[in-house]
Amino acid sequence: MKNIAVIGAGTMGNGIAHTFAQFGYKVQLIDISEASLKRGMDTITKNLDRMVAKEKITEEDKQNTLDNLYTTTSIAKGVEYAGLVVEAATENVDLKLNIFRELDEVCPDDTILATNTSSISITQIGAVTSRPDQVIGMHFMNPVPVMKLVEIIRGYNTSDEVTNTIMELSKKLNKIPVEVNDYPGFVANRILMPMINESIETLYNGVAGVYEIDTVMKLGMAHPMGPLQLADFIGLDVCLSILEVMYEGFKNPKYAPCPLLVNMVRAGKLGVKSGEGFYDYSENRKAEVVSKQFA
Is 10 annotated among the ligand-binding residues? yes
List beta partners, residue 136.
114, 154
CA–CA gap between residue 153 and residue 132 (Å, rounded): 13
Active site members: 118, 139, 151, 189
CA–CA gap between residue 16 and residue 113 (Å, rounded): 15
Angle of the 227-234 helix axis to the 188-204 helix axis, nearest 10: 120
Is 13 annotated among the ligand-binding residues? yes
Is 118 annotated among the ligand-binding residues? yes
Is 1 annotated among the ligand-binding residues? no
Is 8 annotated among the ligand-binding residues? yes
Is 91 annotated among the ligand-binding residues? yes
Whether the CB-CB separation of 12 and 22 falls below 8 Å is answered with no
DSSP 182-214: -STTTTHHHHHHHHHHHHHHHHHTTSS-HHHHH
Residue 141 DSSP one-character state? P
CA–CA gap between residue 18 and residue 71 (Å, rounded): 12
Is 241 annotated among the ligand-binding residues? no
Number of Cα atoms under 13 Å in the Cβ half of residue 178: 11
Is 142 annotated among the ligand-binding residues? yes
CA–CA gap between residue 246 and residue 156 (Å, rounded): 18
Ramachandran region of residue 150, left (φ > 0), alpha (ψ -120 to 50) or beta?
beta
CA–CA gap between residue 26 and residue 17 (Å, rounded): 9
Is 11 annotated among the ligand-binding residues? yes
Cis peptide preceding 132, ω within 30 of 0: no
Q: What are the CA-CA distances from residue 152 to residues 66, 140, 191 (Å)?
A: 27, 9, 16
Could you give the maximum distance between any two Cα atoms of the chain, in Å?
55
Is 171 annotated among the ligand-binding residues? no
Cis peptide preceding 143, ω within 30 of 0: yes
Binding residues for NAD(+): 8-13, 31, 91, 96, 118, 142, 273
Q: Please give the annotated binding residues, written as ranges.
A: 8-13, 31, 91, 96, 118, 142, 273
